[in-house]
Structure 1
């Protein structure tokens, strides 16, 4: 064992740079996987924690006032009931912000089921009749803190001033603004004062189930027990959890996928490096066998060395992630803080480390086995004949290129198996870098071409104290506004009545709204609709089918003619023309107007102009862009590209060492042929550069295909829908490929020139 350790230490000292790169690559892969673990755990942890602590409800129903809800408590599987609580729609006005708010009447005692978790301040008290407790994400969005006064406007336009007593978390619905309206809890007497008309209120009731898997069945039974015409909205715990974990889940999946691919690439790179070291140390291995080492000991020697490097790398990476991870900005740092507070996070680190070390150990097993087969008697090194000249070398001859380039083209592919392995190992990082660039291009597409991803209207105008005719005249006359589409959003029960989705009526048959349709076609008739991927999944239908939904107590039979790109509400959107909701009294009154601007119009200028022209009676706001919430994705993409580039660097070092070893014995011959040291170095550089060029072409082509597939798959899983992927521009791909080839040349030029200047006697000594 002492001899083994001494040999390993001597080998590491002789290859310090290569060993350091292996440790560094393992460390960055470990950091990626640990951050992915933290993000994926944190993706569901907020909902799980809040739901458990609040004793949350699995199903929430909003029903019409006066409906007897007592039958719900007697349904099979229902263990507890929250409410019913009277609710009223309103608008919260905070400085220039106006947000939709649902006021929920709750007593001064915290309920046992679906109990709001007070985070700051205190709960409602009878001594403060004008108090309100705001849901935490809503309070954060409008910058409202404990002790602040907020203005609440009821449906009839009456305003009331309320004092914020506290903020609270809830598992009843997702965070604002992904889930609207926001929630505010008030005393029953306060709600009576703000909304005295019972016809404008609803009842919210939550059902806690013994079996969460029976949510859909119980929700359907609840709607049947009350009557579908009496139920306005149904939401389930699956929808809330999905709304809470979307952002972190995307980051976690990105880090996880890239981390696993990086681990594969790192393992292959280390296997190539180990194989090269075995070939370079044939005489040393033979000497070890001559002094008594068995083949099994030789195999263990190489496995121990590379396993030790993997353990050192993972230890470095896990320490860096544990110490520096909580300091990272945004969701990465927050997730690490929460994850480190979990009792089982150490088990996850150990499991990740075991997987990393095992992967690298298995990758180096084949080179170690080849080392064990080296004969104990040193033999004269002789390579197999190069075989026929490659087509690339023939082409170089036909083009009368300089001799150094011709020899480099020949050397690049005269060993087909080794060349194929090198190209494969280099192509994997290039492939994933292309995928990362595709993710970046998709984010740019959200911001630069929002109409392609369902954001044709960059502004939304809501009349406040302005009649519809005046609002339409003002919007249509405003310079910069190309079209103003009236819109209404209501909740609709899906077929089977197990949950509800948002039904959006936007535009008219005469002036249809330009929905971004990725599959099928747009709306033409009043009985047609387009749906987001999330809505199609909830309704279990596809494009071309008919569905029956219950909206506002009225059944609607609609033909799904297209799938639209829907970045809002996790894609749970069913869109129709406003004509589809026309009743005996005509078209419903628009709740808002979606404003499509003329090319070149500045959204901020149009917004300011409309606000001034309407004297504040038009609440004009920019349409939320989901790309604004995915800023951390760009940071992650940059980090992943750096990690993959480092892995590619390791493989380039390995390929260069192989090329130099092959040319060590050729230096004297090439000099005798008249080649200068610079030309000899050019031979090595040309061979490595050509291998890198082929890897770039292969990896980029596969990466473009994989990028579109992975991004569209994530879009489908998130409810937005497939069709959002953007391919990086050809110039971007060309620049990335040129940088990769240039990096390969820079990596191998220095050692190649050093080897070319070596004395001829050193080359002869290798025979």
Structure 2
């Protein structure tokens, strides 16, 4: 044991840089996997925790005011009911900010099922008849808290915010979905026209949600049901903001783990080939094959352990201090029940995975004979291929020809070496593709389904003509497309989707069509990927839906990229919807601005020009949830570059050792020390160049495949990927080649200056 430790210590002193690279690379990989686990927990468990504490309803059904929603409590499979509650649609204001809300009539005691969880303040009190409780999304949009007041148009007295609550229903989205404000029934009476009811159903079996919705719609009648939302929809929306971050970190973490494992395998294999004489000496003095295997395995498992412990300690102690969503995710994750198990399983799994790949390479060390096998020192030129001889005949630089020959023709191990070095470069190419795709969302949003920068909604006292005149009076507005958005029941009546009528046939809205063609004729529509998946239809099919109790049949002629509502959107022209309902009037305008216009400045100017009669909202930013990915991508590139450096150090060491056997022959044929150094540098640079070419050739299509697959799974749809430009790929390849040549120059020059006796011992 003492001899084993002494040999391991001597070997570590000889290869300090390589050991440091392995430790840091392992630490980066494990840190990525731990952050991925934190993001997954942050995405799913907060909503689940709220749902459990609130004894949440699995289905929320909005009905007409005349429907007898209380009958749903008697349906089979319904465990309990929340409501029914009277509702009224209203717009509340605070300090100039507006929010469209659903006023929900409640009582002085919170309900048992679907109970709002107070974050601050208190619940409704009959002693404060003008008091209301806001959901967190509305409170955040209005910048209010308990004790502030709200203005309700038509009401003589302001509303007092008694509390702010969280709930497990689909969250508030400005311009898309109303928020929830709980108020006493007397407040609803002053709010104006009563718009309907809402009832929540908690089911005995959550998997029967679709069937329960069908039964409820059948019981009440399709005309009486205006909107349906389920717990799956609410959970999916709660996951949307962080799920992509978790998937990216998990994918690249696993890829980096594989790259690191292969780098370890290559490092051990190269070290064994370079230390055959030392291994033979170990066996000659009494080391058994098992002891030789164990010494290599223990050494690299120790590196892996050190890296995993370093990563685990850093994430556990400093992870919550990371700015932004990653820090929030770590804080939430540390309070979840599965935190301790993940904190143990991920590092242990990483160490075992690296150990498994190490075993195969270390096993080769046990097969080395105790008597060194003499290797021939034949001149390199005796084994030159035909193309290499012809290249020398053309008086090309000998160093270039011999270095290229050593890279591709000397050893069957060259393809494996190129593959190992290409893997981190391939993952970097994929990471750069993710970066350029995010940049596409910012620079050209019209290519990813966000052609309109602003959405304008007029108050009831402002008709469509006046609103359109106000909007088009600003020369920064290129086009104001009239439109309407309503909730529609899908076939089977198991849920609702968003049905949009935007633009007219004379002035069509510029939908981003990724497959099929744009809307051209009557009854034609384009649909998002989420809707196609929900209804199990494809481009070319006809779909039937119910809007306000009336059927609407549309022909899907194209698939559009839809960043909103998880892609569960079907869009047609306003003219098509008017054919089914001639009295339909636009409720909104989508504004396309000039390229140099600032959406916020235009929105503020339009609000002032209309004296507040226009509610101007910025369109949903498709890149809003992707902004944290930039920092993640940079961190991943750094980790992958570190792994690439680890593999490159192995390539350099192997090339220098293989060059030692040719050193005497190259000197004998007249090559100068500088030319011999150039042979090794060229061999290493050629390996890096081949790896960069392979990485670009495989990484670009792989990146497009992965990003489009993510687009399909999120409902946005394929067609959003943008691969790096040719110049960026050339820059990556050039950096790899120049870096390899620079790092190889010093070791190659030192090898040439070795003493003759050392060189003879190396080839023996």
Q: Normalization by structure 1: what TM-score? A: 0.96
What is the match of residue 633 of structure 1? 629
Using the TM superposition, give the Cα deviation of residue 70 of structure 1 relative to its aligned residue in structure 2, in angstroms.
Answer: 2.5
Using the TM superposition, give the Cα deviation of residue 587 of structure 1 relative to its aligned residue in structure 2, in angstroms.
Answer: 4.4
Match of 1:429 among 418, 424, 430: 424
Using the TM superposition, give the Cα deviation of residue 752 of structure 1 relative to its aligned residue in structure 2, in angstroms.
Answer: 1.6
The alignment partner of 2:151 has SS state of strand
What is the match of residue 210 of structure 1? 204
- Note the residue ranges of structure 1 that are not aligned, 5 or more in a row: none
Q: Kindly indicate whether residue 514 of structure 2 is the aligned counterpart of residue 518 of structure 1.
A: yes
What is the match of residue 299 of structure 2? 305
> How far apart, CA to CA, are the structure 2 residues paired with 1:282 and 1:178?
71
What is the match of residue 29 of structure 1? 29
> How far apart, CA to CA, are the structure 1 residues paired with 2:393 and 2:171?
68
How many residues align? The count is 761
Using the TM superposition, give the Cα deviation of residue 223 of structure 1 relative to its aligned residue in structure 2, in angstroms.
Answer: 0.6
The alignment partner of 1:349 has SS state of helix
> How far apart, CA to CA, are the structure 2 residues paired with 1:613 and 1:342?
50
1:372-521 mapped onto 2 (5 Å cutoff): 372-382=366-376, 389=384, 393=388, 396-397=391-392, 400-464=395-459, 465-521=461-517
| Distance 1:529-1:370 versus aligned 2 partners, 3 A rule | same
- Note the residue ranges of structure 2 that are not aligned, 5 or more in a row: none
What is the match of residue 711 of structure 2? 715
Do the aligned partners of 2:483 and 2:503 also contact (CA within 8 Å) in 1?
A: yes
The alignment partner of 1:364 has SS state of helix
Using the TM superposition, give the Cα deviation of residue 163 of structure 1 relative to its aligned residue in structure 2, in angstroms.
Answer: 1.8
| 598-607 vs 410-419, which moves further | 598-607
What is the match of residue 230 of structure 2? 236
Using the TM superposition, give the Cα deviation of residue 628 of structure 1 relative to its aligned residue in structure 2, in angstroms.
Answer: 2.5
Residue by residue over 1:7-39, the C-alpha shift from the partner in whole angstroms, topping out at 9 and shown as x without a partner, is 222322222221121111111111011111111
| Distance 1:265-1:177 versus aligned 2 partners, 3 A rule | farther
Cα RMSD of the aligned pairs, angstroms, is: 2.0
What is the match of residue 183 of structure 1? 180
| 470-479 vs 745-754, which moves further | 470-479
Q: Kindly indicate whether residue 748 of structure 2 is the aligned counterpart of residue 752 of structure 1.
A: yes
The alignment partner of 1:765 has SS state of helix
> How far apart, CA to CA, are the structure 1 residues paired with 2:581 and 2:58?
38
Q: Kindly indicate whether residue 42 of structure 2 is the aligned counterpart of residue 45 of structure 1.
A: no
Q: Kindly indicate whether residue 241 of structure 2 is the aligned counterpart of residue 247 of structure 1.
A: yes
Q: Kindly indicate whether residue 569 of structure 2 is the aligned counterpart of residue 569 of structure 1.
A: no
> How far apart, CA to CA, are the structure 2 residues paired with 1:456 and 1:398?
61
> How far apart, CA to CA, are the structure 2 residues paired with 1:134 and 1:233?
21
The alignment partner of 1:488 has SS state of strand
| 697-706 vs 591-600, which moves further | 591-600
Residue by residue over 1:360-394, the C-alpha shift from the partner in whole angstroms, topping out at 9 and shown as x without a partner, is 11211222111101111223234799785357745
Using the TM superposition, give the Cα deviation of residue 232 of structure 1 relative to its aligned residue in structure 2, in angstroms.
Answer: 0.2
Q: Kindly indicate whether residue 615 of structure 2 is the aligned counterpart of residue 615 of structure 1.
A: no
What is the match of residue 661 of structure 1? 657
> How far apart, CA to CA, are the structure 2 residues paired with 1:602 and 1:318?
44
Using the TM superposition, give the Cα deviation of residue 472 of structure 1 relative to its aligned residue in structure 2, in angstroms.
Answer: 1.7
Do the aligned partners of 1:685 and 1:749 also contact (CA within 8 Å) in 2?
A: yes
> How far apart, CA to CA, are the structure 2 residues paired with 1:116 and 1:609?
38
Using the TM superposition, give the Cα deviation of residue 99 of structure 1 relative to its aligned residue in structure 2, in angstroms.
Answer: 2.4
> How far apart, CA to CA, are the structure 2 residues paired with 1:102 and 1:603?
28
Runs of 4+ in structure 1 off by over 6 angstroms are 383-387
The alignment partner of 2:710 has SS state of helix
| Distance 1:15-1:187 versus aligned 2 partners, 3 A rule | same
Do the aligned partners of 2:379 and 2:665 also contact (CA within 8 Å) in 1?
A: no
Do the aligned partners of 1:390 and 1:413 also contact (CA within 8 Å) in 2?
A: no
Residue by residue over 1:254-313, the C-alpha shift from the partner in whole angstroms, topping out at 9 and shown as x without a partner, is 000000000000000010000111112112211221222221222222112211221121
Using the TM superposition, give the Cα deviation of residue 736 of structure 1 relative to its aligned residue in structure 2, in angstroms.
Answer: 1.7
| Distance 1:584-1:43 versus aligned 2 partners, 3 A rule | closer
> How far apart, CA to CA, are the structure 1 residues paired with 2:72 and 2:612?
45
> How far apart, CA to CA, are the structure 2 residues paired with 1:547 and 1:538?
12
| Distance 1:280-1:159 versus aligned 2 partners, 3 A rule | farther
> How far apart, CA to CA, are the structure 1 residues paired with 2:167 and 2:26?
41
Using the TM superposition, give the Cα deviation of residue 602 of structure 1 relative to its aligned residue in structure 2, in angstroms.
Answer: 4.3
